[in-house]
């Protein structure tokens, strides 16, 4: 059966959406910057034999940053899961610590609601952060769920509260600006683009209407 021009256009739109979304694609984010003091270098304990870095205590300045700066990271805002590489050696305590987003990167983030994050948020803000526990040395451990991350419906049941909206140029960071001591050794993060089926489903849902419109012409 010969496809109509309308169906060809629709199929091209589906293909273009799939090509742009690239769900499942992964990127490794090495540590890009260390702010503040009190750092201990753990030589060779990080991902791929890189150095890992440990810090302990309370510090209003100390932060570790990871940048979404790879050339092929999408410029549009999409959902990502975040995994933490657990260094092969620890510098001391292995405490829970959140990984937070700075969606505008060097330009910061608008607080309490940033328009670049397509999530209404909770508690009056849509700033995103997912908790990270220690795990088996030399492995990747998923961050989350929560405590403040989008409840994102996807193809994986029960995966809500584990993702972040990010785009090329965004930063991720962990900080020691809390009223309690944190001891943690950090290395690379791994982000994976998550399927966001809403646009795909909306496109498919609109096809019958397009067909009816075509038939009435």
Is residue 56 within 8 Å of 42, Cβ to Cβ?
no
According to the model, what pLDDT value does residue 161 have?
A: 82
Q: CA dist 15 to 8, 114, 124, 136, Å? A: 11, 31, 38, 39
In a domain, 80, yes or no: yes
Tokens for 176?
Answer: 């020691």
What is the band of 160 on the pLDDT scale with cuts at 50, 70, 90? low
In a domain, 4, yes or no: no
Q: pLDDT tens digits, residue range 60-116?
A: 999 999 999 999 999 999 999 999 999 999 999 999 999 999 999 999 999 999 999
Is residue 26 within 8 Å of 191, Cβ to Cβ?
yes
Residue 61: which domain range? 25-211
Phi, psi values for residue 66, rounded to 5°:
-130, 135
pTM above 0.85?
Answer: no
Give the least confident one: 6-10, 36-40, 74-78, 109-113.
6-10
In a domain, 6, yes or no: no
In a domain, 53, yes or no: yes
In a domain, 198, yes or no: yes
According to the model, what pLDDT value does residue 198 have?
A: 52
Give, rounded to a whole angstrom, the gap between the first and last alpha carbons of the chain. 20
Helix axes 198-216, 5-21, angle to 10 degrees: 170
CATH at 81: 2.60.120
In a domain, 58, yes or no: yes
Pick from 127, 122, 129: nearest CA to 145: 129
Average pLDDT, the chain: 83
Sign of the alpha-carbon dihedral angle for 30, 33, 38, 40: positive
In a domain, 35, yes or no: yes
In a domain, 1, yes or no: no
Domain count, the chain: 1
């Amino acid at each position: 059966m010969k496809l109509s021009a309308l169906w060809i256009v629709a199929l091209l739109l589906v293909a273009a959406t799939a090509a742009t979304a690239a769900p499942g694609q992964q990127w490794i984010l090495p540590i890009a910057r260390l702010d503040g003091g009190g750092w201990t270098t753990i030589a060779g304990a990080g991902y791929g034999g890189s150095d890992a870095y440990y810090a302990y205590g309370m510090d209003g300045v100390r932060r570790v940053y990871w940048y979404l700066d790879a050339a092929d990271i999408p410029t549009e805002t999409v959902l990502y899961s975040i995994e933490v590489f657990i260094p092969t050696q620890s510098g001391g305590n292995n405490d829970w610590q959140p990984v937070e987003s700075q969606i505008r990167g060097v330009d910061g983030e608008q607080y309490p609601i940033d328009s670049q994050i397509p999530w209404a948020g909770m508690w009056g803000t849509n700033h995103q952060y997912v908790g990270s526990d220690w795990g088996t040395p030399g492995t990747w451990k998923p961050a989350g769920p929560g405590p403040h991350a989008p409840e994102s419906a996807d193809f994986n049941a029960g995966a809500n509260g584990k993702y972040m909206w990010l785009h090329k140029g965004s930063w991720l960071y962990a900080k020691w600006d809390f009223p309690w001591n944190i001891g943690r050794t950090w290395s690379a993060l791994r982000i994976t683009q998550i399927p966001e089926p809403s646009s795909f489903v909306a496109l498919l849902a609109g096809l019958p209407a397009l067909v009816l419109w075509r038939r009435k012409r």
